[in-house]
Amino acid sequence: MASSATHAAPASRRPPAAVSRGLMHPAAKPLLFALCLLPFGWLFYGALTDGLGANPAEYLIRATGDWTLRFLCLTLAVTPLRVLAGLPALARFRRMLGLFMYFYVVLHLVSYAWFDMGFDVSEIARDIAKRPFILVGFAAFLLLTPLAATSFNRAVKALGAKRWQALHKLVYAVAGLAVLHFFWMRAGKNDFAEVAVYAAILAVLLGWRVLQWAKRKRA
């Protein structure tokens, strides 16, 4: 959801014109939208056909959380790929990816509130206060909410570009909270393999931004 300055690609890194044309094709966004909905369709179909294993509630909670992390990585990957591959057209897909990240985190929260807590608000509040990994996950959701709410052209105009960009830098804090949430969730089972993969991907994506910021400072 966060924005960054436009970089011109050196001639040696310019991609084939067909790639750029494909990204700008009118069908590109509808195709991406359909692809982003596939995980939801798969989970919905699995729930209808009892295809989510012995514990479908736990499966839905975990799967929606996993897809939230995947869309977080995809959203943060847009700018580095745009710059390094010389594909400015990639920027037009960042908003959609960010909104789908929010869609899946809402599904994750609803699944937890429904299947674990039975939509009991007082129980949910006690669980958030009692379990640190739930608290961290809920904090990440709260930070994402204003980003989703302002991911539209009218919001950019209302806030002004600088304030909008500053607000959307909260996605970097969300990335840290998301990894911490996942780490604490897996700590009980001492299973950190997937946590390490997501942490490494997000560290690279955020580290690239730090390097770009340092280069601009030196310049």
**CA distance linking residue 198 with residue 72, whole number of Å:** 10
Residue 5 domain-assigned (yes or no) = no
Can you tell me the mean pLDDT for 160-183?
A: 96
To 5 degrees, how large is the angle CA 99–CA 105–CA 110? Answer: 125
Residue 6 domain-assigned (yes or no) = no
Can you tell me the mean pLDDT for 88-94?
A: 96
Can you tell me the mean pLDDT for 29-45?
A: 98
Provide the domain limits for residue 118: 17-218
Can you tell me the mean pLDDT for 95-118?
A: 97
The DSSP code for 76 is H
Residue among 161, 7, 192 nearest 84 (CA) = 7
Handedness of CA 163, 98, 138, 201 (dihedral sign): negative
Residue 8 domain-assigned (yes or no) = no
pTM of model > 0.95: no
**CA distance linking residue 94 with residue 151, whole number of Å:** 10
Other CB atoms within a 10 A radius of the CB of residue 69 amount to 24
Q: How confident is the model at residue 147 (pLDDT cuts 50, 70, 90)?
A: very high
The DSSP code for 5 is -
Q: What percent of the chain has pLDDT over 70?
A: 94
Could you give the number of structural domains in the chain? Answer: 1
Residue 77 domain-assigned (yes or no) = yes
Can you tell me the mean pLDDT for 156-178?
A: 96
Residue 163 domain-assigned (yes or no) = yes
Residue carrying structure tokens 């990335």 = 175
Residue 197 domain-assigned (yes or no) = yes
Residue 180 domain-assigned (yes or no) = yes
**CA distance linking residue 107 with residue 115, whole number of Å:** 12
pLDDT tops 90 at residue 81? yes
Can you tell me the mean pLDDT for 45-64?
A: 95
Residue 159 domain-assigned (yes or no) = yes
Residue carrying structure tokens 């736990």 = 58
Q: Yes or no: say if 57 and 116 are a contact pair by the CB < 8 Å rule.
A: yes
**CA distance linking residue 208 with residue 90, whole number of Å:** 17
